[in-house]
Structure 1
Amino acid sequence: MFLRPPPAPTKQTWLWLAPYVAIGIFSLAMLVVTALLQWREQDTALSALEGDMHWAERTIENRLHAHQDFLTTLGREQEFRQLSYEAFQVRASRYVRDNPEIEAIIWVSTSGKVEWVSPNETTATYVGEQLDATRLLALQEALRTLRPLFSENYPNAAHQPANDLILPVQTGSADIGAFIAIQSLEPLLRATLPAAFTTRYSLSVVDAEGREVFSNSSVKPTDRKISGTISLDLPNNRLGLNIVAYRSGGAWLTFVPAGLIIFLTLIATGTLVQLRRHAHHRAATEEQLRAAYAFRHAMSQSLITGLRAIDLKGRITFVNAAFCRMTGFDEGELVGVAPPYPYWPTEEFERLQHNIDQALAGQAPAGGFEMRIMRKSGERFDVRLYFSPLIDSNDQQIGWMASMNDITEPRRARVELERAHERFVTVIDGLDTAVHVADVETGEILFANQAFQTIFGFNSVGQNSALLTAACRPAAETLIVDPAKLGVDDLPCEIFDGELQHTLSGRWYHLHERAIRWTDGRTVRVQIAADITDQKHIDEINLQQQKRLEQTSRLITMGEMASSLAHELNQPLSAIANYCAGCIKRMQAGNYRFEDLLAAMQKASDQAERAGKIIRRMRDMVKKSDPKCLPVSLPELIDETRAFADIQAQRSGTQISVLMPENLPKIVVDRIMIEQVLLNLVKNGIESMADVPFDRRHLSIQARVVDERMLEIAVADQGHGLAEEDVEKIFAPFYTTKQDGMGIGLAICRSIIEFHQGRLWVEAGREGGSIFRFTVPIEEKET
């Protein structure tokens, strides 16, 4: 039942309004006069602020243009390669010292790698550092537009706001890098604006979206009414400088006149308000009660949770709309009903009666009852029912309040989740790879499969991972990242990927470890260890077989050249015999001079040394030794290879030429192995030209530097070349294009080159024939 509102007394309303109107007009007039006086004072201050703002804007922009001009000068000299590192250090250090807002001036490559830094003692950056994504994006934009620009703001090493002034540099039409001035914004304002300016105004730098970058207004209160903004239109980075005047006195002085007027007005109107409020208090209270009841009723009817109230004997006294929707019964069919309720299934009577008896006795569990009830249509569904005492306004219990939630779908999902978990655990336990998950901070093992427990011990869940896996755990210095320093944004990431030997069992494992976010939000380490002991044993056997093949290949090569070497050795041995016989005849005849005998014996000695070199080279080629990669002179290595190859080349009428640039760097290789590769390729090239005319039998050996790490060697012949299908198979073991070939030479050559981290491939020559190319590492230069 709603109360009818009282009629509005028109005459009394006007009597109440008259004093309010009079007081309001007087107060408004006084406030207007006060506001006019304060506005005039503020207008004067704003005029002074505007002039200071224009001066500050010109001063800051001139200083920034000066920095840009200095970088332009450096860039112009760098463009023509006229700027040395020492000159850069001297000039840049002096400029940084004269401009405190410049933290450092650096020279970066087009990829964002820092190559020069001035001054050397700066903490802003270091040589070899890679620009982060924000700064690298600005660098790429500058190189694309070929215009100086500023990067977005970022915190420097001192956690102060800073940005980069980037000047791209080109040589011809190629980008070679950029000069970057790292400038801190706060020192820029201190160095640009005098102390008299900063003592009068609060300064704050804001970005293009109006967010404050930093401010110096934390010392004195500021007057926001006397303020302005300077827009610094920097290329690619719009900054603004908010200038706010400091107050000459406390903020409260501005509001004293208005406060007094308002205070007196409130005192005058307060009495009138209290008189009228008393008259309307009772009506307002009744209206609040009606509104509160309507609100609570609407709230209970709007809930998706079913609500049911019963008295102390179990009789239903209230049900909400959600409860009726769940059961399918109307409110009139439920209110006043005692157990058994109409929504109880027949097969569940006994259990449901036990639950209601337990609830009426005050023994309902805190987690509620999980039960099965039925709708009016007979459909069964699962619910959870929570009980709480129903207390009246006198703190007396008058019954029990129950909330009911339909858990049919959550229960089905939970069952499916349990089954999925069971399937997952079954699959993981079926693996022969050890898998476990451990907390990064505590080291507690959260999950471990059967293979892990077989290796490291059963009942491992809950134990410390570091202690349990100490026998097969990577050292901290070998980790890619420190797991303890990982944040949420860094996940997932790889921690370790390599091979380790179990110190107790001696078995080898391939360990792969990643950091991920666990189901409860914490960071964990997932470690997968695969037993590779048998594979390593197979690899060792294959390596031994490979070494035997290489040794066999060298022996085969030497065997094929044995007749040529015998012919080559016959020449110095015959010369030695002739020189010795001539000396003996002259000495027997007594017709000799000492100088003639000395010259003949010297020639015999030279021929003996020549024969010794041939034998030593052959011995080095065939002897078995472990690979030793040392710096080797490529010209010397090619000369030694030609000493073998020239014998076969002379017999076949093949001309061998060597084309190499001067001052080639040394290569880091095993001399004998690379000599074997060269000899094999040269020998194959000579044999491929057996059917071509003599004037075309020409083989060339060329070398060039590919990059700062690798050198390329090419062996080109003028033979019959290779068919397209042979190019794909030529390096396969036991595949040959020769009638009497074994097919292991080129396969061994590729293995040797890959052992040196190089690459071996074949190309068709422009004028016929084939070009075999391979790369080997260059000796690193000391810096």
Structure 2
Amino acid sequence: MRSNPFLAPQAPWTDRWKRLLGQERLAAIAPLAAVLLFLATIAAAFWYLSAQDAQRELAAARHDLEFSQQQLRLHLQEQAGELERLARAVSGGNMGAAQFAQSARALAGRWPEMRDMRWLDAQGRTVARLPPEGSAAGFAGPQSEGADESENANELAQTGKMHGEPYAVPLPAGAGKAGSLRVYVPLMNEGRREGALLIVYDASQLLYHGLPQRLQEKYAFSLLDETGGVLAGLASAGGHPQADEGWPWAARRSQARSLPLALPWAGGALTLQAQVWRAPEGVVGRALFWLAAALSAMTVWMLVVNWRFVRWRQQAQAALTAETSFRRAMENSMRTGMRALDLHGRITYVNPAFCRMTGWSEAELVGQMPPYSYWPEQEHQTLMRVLADELAGRAQAASRQIRVRRKSGELFDARLYIAPLMDGHGQHSGWVASMTDISEPNRVRAELAAARERFTLVLESLEASVSVAPLGSKELLFANKRYRRWFGDTTQGHLGMVISASSLRTAPGESGEKMRPDNAEIYLPPLDKWLDVRSRYLTWADGRLAQMVIATDVTARRAAEARAEEQARLAEDASRLITMGEMASSVAHELNQPLTAISNYCTGIISRVQAGGLAQEDLLGALRKTARQAQRAGQVIQHIRNFVKRSDPKMQLGTVAAIIEPVLELAEVEARRRQVRLGSNVAPNLPQVLADPILIGQVLLNLIRNAAESIEAAQRPPDERRITLLASLILIEDQSAVQFAVEDTGCGLPPGVQERLYEAFFSTKREGMGIGLNLCRSIIEAHQGRLRAVNLYNGGQTVGCRFSFWIPAAAAAAPAQARPLNPEET
């Protein structure tokens, strides 16, 4: 088999490269680790020596600080003894101001840290003091220290709290003032405090004269008060500079060490702090250390650079290997066949997809010269001309569809894309072609074309008009035969139907409900047709938003519905006439009473007029009674006339009482004839309803007649023969409605009757026509209400029936007046 110029290196070469890279990594890590170990050893040695020095220094500093604290305390205790003897001499009256000044001068000469010494009376005024340097012998009177009397008085008060014990007050250094220590020694005479001696110490001089000289050259001492304020410090007693600039050539200070300094006087807790002055370290030792560190750093830097270069080369080699493997995997996994030819037409490369398509192996294809084995025999000449154009550079850049033969002899359609093949130096070395099997796309394309043809045939055969037009354009994207027959090839009919349907959708119908947003029935005068127009939005094949309109001719259905409505009205009229016919005897009996009364009144009037004994008042009373009976007869006749006369339904606002009262008057006649008590229970303040009072009255009258017949059929005793007409306010889905109900004490509905109760021509009565309840339900549903019937039970026994219906209220009722509807009442 020929070597493949597009394949990646073989596995043995890859393993060899991995081993080589691993050895280089180890070679780079070993020197780096040795240098780092050497540098760590030097640093550890220096750290160990420094730690040893620091420990020795710490022990020596602790010992020296304790010794310094003891020396300073002994120094102060010696002075405290002398001051107490002086205080006893002054308080005993054995010393005057002159002798005090002389004694104070002697003490100040002995201890130079005493900056000032005063004799204070009980009010804090200066009686005598150590005269300042350069003044005449003697003492200063109280007038020279008037500014300090308040301060002395306050501090004397603190001394008084100590029960006659000396008291020390430290004063930290301030702006322009050095730190000092004020000591008050009380003057006691027979248990009374007569004043005090005030000794002011210079804190710096106290440290200088109180600490050993050899320790001052080694340490920097500080005296701190109890709040941490600095009273004084000796930072350069041994000739060392105070700052650390110029390190390592200048002296350095270590961490401070502190010990509390217990004064021989009460109060004034002080702390003695010391820092060791370290001498400059050897320049040669530090130079050697930094030289070793610099050499180690250079060695590490060179090793890191070398390691980064090796790492970069490893990454480049790994990327090259990964890229080659990726390209090979991509070529092997792609479903497009790849074929490469040299300048003479010899096949130099095929990928696995090409082999799978043709059925020949790579060994069989690579090296072939035309005609190739995958060419169909009957197309050799055509394909040779195509190949000649390809090798000569005359091939078109576009793709070409050819027929390809598999090794099994099967032919399939393929699409070939040809491009020049350039080598690594940019030289033209051949031609590369990609081949795709398009047998399945061709089959799908053919099926789609057949499906489109069938779909178009179905749309053309529809009895409905179908049209599609983009929004905001007068272009007609599609129209079937029925649309073209009605409207032609323009979008005028399409847009006209859309506009007409939109105007109907936004206007409420006769029943108060809006039509569905995707459906409307319109009338087109040019066609003299009623059309059911349905519209849908869709995305057309080119991505534009379009609207599809489907119009169906519903002229015949509209005519049938009109005829059905006319028949329903006729059936309603017939039902009313039948009802009044059945009630004729009862109505005649009802009319007989007022007519008989009228006849009797008239006969009596005539007789008394003829006898000449009729007074005017009696005549007027008889005539009024006659008029009332005539009005009563006229009302009965008017109710009957309004009930049975044929008229179109009239929806009007009215009260519930205006609907119920005429019904009760007509139904009372039938109830008395059947010996049934008729009652009513109407809730107060019921809202008005939008209804036809004649139709609602017909429903109520029909339900009352049925209830009376049910009671008569049940043969109830006289005290149980009753019918109740109810009216109340309820809530239906948060909407107010008025519910009418007719309850009786009859035999109820037999089992299995409720499912067929509203079927046309179904009746439970022998002589019934079966149109009464069906018409009642139609009337109630036309008023957007519902009719329901349930049996009434008492201990499992049927004691009557309840027919109820509700219609929406025209005005919103108060929620407190309405009650939720029982699910069984819906």
User: TM-score, structure 2 length as denominator?
Assistant: 0.56
**Could you say which residue in structure 2 is the equivalent of 1:606?**
628
Partner secondary structure for residue 518 of structure 2: strand
Pair 1:709–1:433, CA change in 2 (3 A): farther
Shift of the alpha carbon at 1:349? Answer: 2.7
2:577 to 551, 555, 577: 555
Shift of the alpha carbon at 1:361? Answer: 4.8
Equivalent residues in 2 for 1:53-452, closer than 5 Å: 296-297=327-328, 299-362=330-393, 364-439=395-470, 446-452=477-483
C-alpha contact (below 8 Å) 1:456/1:468 kept by paired residues: no
Partner secondary structure for residue 587 of structure 2: helix
Shift of the alpha carbon at 1:371? Answer: 2.2
Partner secondary structure for residue 706 of structure 1: strand
Give the number of the structure with larger relative contact order, counting CA–CA contacts within 8 Å between residues 6 or more apart: 2
1:22-57, Cα deviation, whole Å (9 max, x unpaired): 99999x99xxxxxxxxxxxxxxxxxxxxxxxxxxxx
Shift of the alpha carbon at 1:471? Answer: 6.0
1:533-589, Cα deviation, whole Å (9 max, x unpaired): 211111011001111111122122223333332332232233233334434444444
C-alpha contact (below 8 Å) 1:472/1:502 kept by paired residues: no
Q: 2:317 and 2:662 mapped to 1: Cα distance?
A: 115
C-alpha contact (below 8 Å) 2:683/2:729 kept by paired residues: no
Greater Cα shift, 409-418 or 469-478: 469-478
Q: 2:312 and 2:606 mapped to 1: Cα distance?
A: 150
1:87-140, Cα deviation, whole Å (9 max, x unpaired): xxxxxxxxxxxxxxxxxxxxxxxxxxxxxxxxxxxxxxxxxxxxxxxxxxxxxx
Pair 1:298–1:581, CA change in 2 (3 A): closer
C-alpha contact (below 8 Å) 1:495/1:515 kept by paired residues: no
C-alpha contact (below 8 Å) 2:338/2:351 kept by paired residues: yes
Pair 1:655–1:376, CA change in 2 (3 A): same
Q: 2:300 and 2:477 mapped to 1: Cα distance?
A: 70
Pair 1:724–1:286, CA change in 2 (3 A): closer
Pair 1:606–1:9, CA change in 2 (3 A): closer
1:290-335, Cα deviation, whole Å (9 max, x unpaired): 8766665554344332111123443322222322232222323222
Partner secondary structure for residue 474 of structure 1: helix
**Could you say which residue in structure 2 is the equivalent of 1:487?**
none
C-alpha contact (below 8 Å) 1:319/1:335 kept by paired residues: yes
Greater Cα shift, 16-25 or 369-378: 16-25
Shift of the alpha carbon at 1:472? Answer: 4.5
C-alpha contact (below 8 Å) 2:746/2:801 kept by paired residues: yes
Equivalent residues in 2 for 1:446-461, closer than 5 Å: 446-458=477-489
Q: 1:10 and 1:605 mapped to 2: Cα distance?
A: 132
Q: 2:716 and 2:33 mapped to 1: Cα distance?
A: 129
Letter paired with 1:605: A
C-alpha contact (below 8 Å) 1:390/1:400 kept by paired residues: yes
C-alpha contact (below 8 Å) 1:653/1:694 kept by paired residues: no
2:726 to 702, 720, 723: 702
Pair 1:569–1:347, CA change in 2 (3 A): same
C-alpha contact (below 8 Å) 1:478/1:496 kept by paired residues: no
Greater Cα shift, 360-369 or 642-651: 360-369
Shift of the alpha carbon at 1:343? Answer: 0.8
Shift of the alpha carbon at 1:277? Answer: 8.6
C-alpha contact (below 8 Å) 1:471/1:502 kept by paired residues: no
Pair 1:412–1:713, CA change in 2 (3 A): same
Partner secondary structure for residue 457 of structure 2: helix
Shift of the alpha carbon at 1:508? Answer: 2.2
Shift of the alpha carbon at 1:672? Answer: 0.5
**Could you say which residue in structure 2 is the equivalent of 1:99?**
none
Pair 1:474 & 2:502 matched: yes
C-alpha contact (below 8 Å) 1:456/1:469 kept by paired residues: no
**Could you say which residue in structure 2 is the equivalent of 1:672?**
694
Equivalent residues in 2 for 1:435-584, closer than 5 Å: 435-439=466-470, 446-458=477-489, 467=495, 469-470=497-498, 472-475=500-503, 478=506, 495-502=517-524, 504-515=526-537, 524-584=546-606
Q: 2:459 and 2:680 mapped to 1: Cα distance?
A: 61
Q: 2:632 and 2:335 mapped to 1: Cα distance?
A: 104
Letter paired with 2:506: T
C-alpha contact (below 8 Å) 1:307/1:322 kept by paired residues: yes
1:590-609, Cα deviation, whole Å (9 max, x unpaired): 43333222222222221222
Letter paired with 2:728: R
1:643 to 660, 665, 677: 665
Shift of the alpha carbon at 1:617? Answer: 1.0
Letter paired with 2:688: K
Shift of the alpha carbon at 1:674? Answer: 0.8
Pair 1:621 & 2:621 matched: no
> Any stretches of 5+ residues in structure 2 without a counterpart?
1-8, 45-295, 509-515, 815-826
1:697-717, Cα deviation, whole Å (9 max, x unpaired): 332223333314333322233
Q: 1:24 and 1:497 mapped to 2: Cα distance?
A: 91
**Could you say which residue in structure 1 is the equivalent of 2:768?**
741
Q: 2:694 and 2:330 mapped to 1: Cα distance?
A: 91
Q: 1:665 and 1:15 mapped to 2: Cα distance?
A: 103
2:786 to 743, 759, 768: 759
C-alpha contact (below 8 Å) 1:479/1:495 kept by paired residues: no
Letter paired with 1:603: K
User: TM-score, structure 1 length as denominator?
Assistant: 0.59
Q: 1:11 and 1:600 mapped to 2: Cα distance?
A: 142
Q: 1:578 and 1:408 mapped to 2: Cα distance?
A: 110
Aligned residues: 531
Pair 1:453–1:314, CA change in 2 (3 A): farther
Q: 2:431 and 2:313 mapped to 1: Cα distance?
A: 34
Q: 2:810 and 2:540 mapped to 1: Cα distance?
A: 47
State which structure, 1 or 2, has the greater radius of gyration over its C-alpha atoms: 2
Pair 1:619–1:274, CA change in 2 (3 A): same
1:395-452, Cα deviation, whole Å (9 max, x unpaired): 4433221011222333333333333333333333333233444555768655444444
Pair 1:266–1:378, CA change in 2 (3 A): farther
Shift of the alpha carbon at 1:350? Answer: 4.1
Pair 1:732–1:301, CA change in 2 (3 A): closer
1:660 to 682, 685, 699: 682
Q: 2:297 and 2:571 mapped to 1: Cα distance?
A: 108
Pair 1:419–1:267, CA change in 2 (3 A): farther
CA RMSD of aligned residues (A): 4.3
Partner secondary structure for residue 390 of structure 2: helix
Shift of the alpha carbon at 1:372? Answer: 2.3
> Any stretches of 5+ residues in structure 1 without a counterpart?
30-264, 481-493
Partner secondary structure for residue 724 of structure 1: coil
